[in-house]
């Protein structure tokens, strides 16, 4: 996707006659961005989330991290269950939640796996739009996490997953 050079835009002079036409064109292309406030995200909708980046060798289920057409990502599995597939709207890159980390628990942040430390540092922290393609399995998340409950942050995820399975709504904070 091409980026618009804003320095060039300051030099351009638009005629007031063309401005309403441009605004109509832009409004017709826009999709609503839904902040993630509560409930399970629905496939096909676009959500705004905070992302960070990491590197590593193995994911939360003991397999090598994926790089390629679908790349690994880490999240709180009680918020984005194991197996959740999503696409970054801005770049079109696809990810699958197959890892978790203590820094992710309760933050509604997704940690994107990068192939190198340089790429990880270049990503930094970004708030991006994602499109959920397939919702993961809370049951499978609980199966993987249950034997690891002696760790406090894992216990937080399993407690939340069990409450969700009992129909108790989870309270989310607004991602800004």
* Distances in whole angstroms, Cα of residue 137 to Cα of each of 70, 95, 121, 126, 142: 18, 15, 31, 26, 9
Alpha carbon distance 48, 129 (integer Å): 4
Say what the pTM is.
Answer: 0.72
Nearest alpha carbon to residue 43 among 87, 1, 98, 13: 87
More confident residue, 71 or 11: 71
Chain segment 6-59, per-residue pLDDT in tens? 444 444 444 444 444 444 444 444 445 444 445 556 677 888 999 999 999 999
Nearest alpha carbon to residue 59 among 12, 100, 106: 100
pLDDT for res 120: 97
| Multiple choice CATH, 34-165, 2.40.128, 2.40.40, 2.30.29, 1.10.10 | 2.40.40
Percent of the chain beyond pLDDT 90?
Answer: 64
No. of helices (H) and no. of strands (E), the chain: 5, 7
Average pLDDT over residues 153-174: 76
Q: Kindly list the domain boundaries of the chain, sorted by start residue.
A: 34-165
């Amino acid at each position: 996707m091409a980026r618009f050079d804003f320095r060039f835009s300051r030099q351009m002079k638009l005629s007031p006659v063309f401005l309403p036409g441009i605004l109509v064109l832009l409004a017709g292309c826009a999709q609503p961005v839904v902040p993630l406030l509560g409930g399970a995200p629905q496939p096909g909708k676009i959500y705004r989330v905070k992302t960070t980046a990491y590197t590593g060798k193995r994911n939360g289920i003991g397999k090598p991290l994926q790089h390629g057409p679908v790349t690994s990502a880490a999240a709180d599995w009680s918020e984005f269950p194991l197996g959740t597939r999503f696409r970054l709207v801005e770049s079109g890159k696809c990810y699958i939640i197959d890892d978790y980390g203590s820094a992710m628990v309760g933050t509604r942040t997704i940690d994107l796996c990068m192939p190198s430390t340089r790429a990880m540092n270049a990503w930094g922290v970004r708030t991006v739009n994602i499109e959920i393609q397939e919702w993961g399995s809370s049951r499978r998340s609980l199966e993987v996490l249950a034997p690891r409950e002696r760790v406090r942050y894992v216990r937080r995820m399993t407690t939340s997953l069990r409450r969700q399975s009992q129909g108790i709504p989870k309270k989310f904070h607004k991602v800004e």
